[in-house]
Structure 1
């Protein structure tokens, strides 16, 4: 289990940081903010490949079913965001990540029959804070935040039917 966690940390944190610096060096991205949809395509494609690698080699179906479907939801959200970027539609990746985790945590609470009402309330406040900060920084419009919210929520909600 420690090896799996170590692998996931390397593949989801360290490798993306290194790949960002590589993309910046070869002038495929300007900043970490990925302001245009054109800049988002390659990082989203690379991230989708990384998540698919995690699903194929690290977090397989027959081990921890809940985490497997969580990563499938992440992959679906990535692919939806990639399709949106190719269609010149910008979605808030911050909202995708936060709302996807929110939905997963909520379904984990249901699955294990534990009361996580306080956690759900805190996560809703965090979702609101993320949305407010993205608007305050003028990084996104209301529409981009709503698209991001649903791009994160819907795949996790859909996949809940397979493991809950």
Structure 2
């Protein structure tokens, strides 16, 4: 009376059900082992930080193409762009930027960071001043302050990177911003 003890789940598995379980995995493994990774460009020229506001994306892409950067940059979008580096609207936004910058720098060997803020940003209105867009001169001044903070924060961590700051107007004009001295 030499009986094997078999658990309930093993009693339910017969040759046919075993094949149904294992064959798809074996086929997938065979297919994946034969595929070759896409040949991707290993280096990017820049990391671009933009706001998440969708109306500005087309103007930004056009501007970047004029800078000869089409398909040659890593892209990060965070609400408020430069404002995100201060931890607004959320501290996790700043950490997300630093993580993306570190990866872009280490893996894609970027040479510069481009930050594009824009006029009538809803995050600036929400976190800084709801009437900010009513005074274009004040609005650009406030953005310049936050762009400058972002500039110096990046410069402190990555002194070898070039950093370009821009302010996109509601007329799709992209104005360079000179950072304010520390």
Same topology, TM > 0.5? no
Q: Name the structure with the higher strand share.
A: 2
Structure showing greater relative contact order (alpha-carbon pairs closer than 8 Å, 6 or more residues apart): 1
Q: Name the structure with the higher helix share.
A: 1
